[in-house]
Amino acid sequence: MQELASLVLVALLLVAFLLDSASAFVVRKDHSSLVLFATTRRYGPPLGDDFFESPRVQKEKDQTQAREFRSLLDKVLTALESDRPEHIPSLLTKHAELLLRMPGHVVTELVQEALQNDNTDKAKVEEALEMIVSFVEDFVEQSKQLDDQHKQLLGKIIRTMTTLSKSQTERQREESLDQFLQEHRHEFTRGFLRHLEGECDRIQSAPSVTPDSLKLKETLLVIHARILEEMAVDCLGEGALVLGQLIAYDDKIERIAVLEAGLQVRGVEFAQELAALTQEALEGFQQQQVDPDLVTRVQEIDQRVQEFVEENGTFQ
C-alpha cells in the first residue's frame, strides 16, 4: 500500500504543475494505478481574476475548496461504506464545478492527507478517488462534445444570416431566419444559451475590441434574443411570450393598439389563453409586493382581452 501511495503522490505532484496552466483535469485508471494528466483549457473566457489575487486571498480560497472537497470525499466514502454507490453520481454532479476548479496543489495535499490517515480504510479511499476522477473524465469529455455541438449550431445560424440574398427585403430575410430557427428549435437548450453568453463575454473581455468583434457581438445578442423567443414559445406558450412583449410597451395607446391587432389576427382561442395568463398574473400580484405600474399594465391588457372575448365568443 505504501508503494501505491508513493505512485499516486508522484503522479499528483506531476499533474499539480500541469494543472497550473489548465482549468480542467482528467483522471484515468490505468494498470490499477491512478494516472493524472492535464487536458485542454476550458472553452471561453476565464471566469475570475485568480491570477491577480493576493497570496492571502488565494490561500483563503484554497482552504475553502479544500474543506468542500474533503466534505465531498467523506460523503462518497460514506456511500461506499453503506453499500449505496448508486447515490455517488448525483452527488458528484452537484459538485462538478468544484471538481473542475480544484487547483492541482490542493488536490495533491488532500490525497496525501487521505492516504496517510491511519483512521481511514485506504482501499476505500482509493476506490472513492477513482470514482471521482472517472466522473471528472466523463464529465469533461461530454462537455467537450456539447461544446462542439454548440459551435456547429452557432455556425449554421450565422451562415444562414450572412448568406441570405441581399436582393431580399428585410422582412423576407427575417422570415428566412425564422424558418431556420423553427426547424432547429429542438436543438436549442439552456446550455446553448450559456454558450452564446460565454462568447459575448469572451469578446467583451478581449484585450482589444475591434469593429468586427463588436459587430459579431451584436449578431450573437440578436441570435440569443431570437432563441429565447423560440424557447419561450415551447416552454410557456405563445400567450406568455406575447404578454411579456406587450408589458414592455411604455405607451398605453401603443400597447393596446398592438394587443388589438394581435387579437384580430389570432382570434378568440388565443384571447382566452391570454386572459387566463393575465388573471393568473393578477392573482399572483396580490400575494406579493409588485410595481404598481406593472399591475396597471396587466390590468389594462386583461380588461381589453376580456372585452374581446365577450364581443366575439365565450369561455368554454
Establish if 146 belongs to a structural domain.
Answer: no
Total number of domains in the chain: 3
Establish if 158 belongs to a structural domain.
Answer: no
Query: Is the domain of 211 the same as that of 229?
Result: yes
Say if CB 281 and CB 249 are below 8 A apart.
no
Query: Is the domain of 30 the same as that of 122?
Result: yes
- 10 pLDDT above the threshold of 70: no
pTM above 0.85, yes or no: no
The pLDDT-based confidence of 304 (bands split at 50, 70, 90) is very high
Say if CB 278 and CB 243 are below 8 A apart.
yes
Query: Is the domain of 63 the same as that of 120?
Result: yes
Say if CB 241 and CB 229 are below 8 A apart.
yes
Query: Is the domain of 220 the same as that of 241?
Result: no
Among 11-25, 44-58, 67-81, name the one with the lowest average pLDDT: 11-25
Query: Is the domain of 50 the same as that of 135?
Result: yes
Query: Is the domain of 8 the same as that of 72?
Result: yes
- Can you tell me which residue has the cell 459587430? 215
Query: Is the domain of 227 the same as that of 285?
Result: no
Query: Is the domain of 114 the same as that of 215?
Result: no
List the beta bridge partners of residue 26. Answer: 37
Query: Is the domain of 184 the same as that of 203?
Result: yes
C-alpha cell at 238: 405563445
DSSP 46: -
Establish if 150 belongs to a structural domain.
Answer: no
**Where do the H-state alpha helices sit in 103-251?**
104-116, 122-162, 170-183, 190-204, 211-236, 238-247
Range of the domain at 203: 164-236
Distance of CA 49 to the CA centre of its chain: 21
264-276 residue pLDDT tens: 888 888 888 888 8
The pLDDT-based confidence of 303 (bands split at 50, 70, 90) is very high
Residue that is last in its domain, among 122, 139, 156: 139
List the beta bridge partners of residue 25. Answer: 38
Query: Is the domain of 92 the same as that of 114?
Result: yes
78 vs 54: CA distance, rounded Å: 36
Establish if 43 belongs to a structural domain.
Answer: yes
Average per-residue pLDDT for the chain: 75
Establish if 153 belongs to a structural domain.
Answer: no
Predicted pLDDT at 19? 35
313 vs 84: CA distance, rounded Å: 59
21 vs 182: CA distance, rounded Å: 41
213-238 residue pLDDT tens: 888 888 888 888 888 777 766 655 66
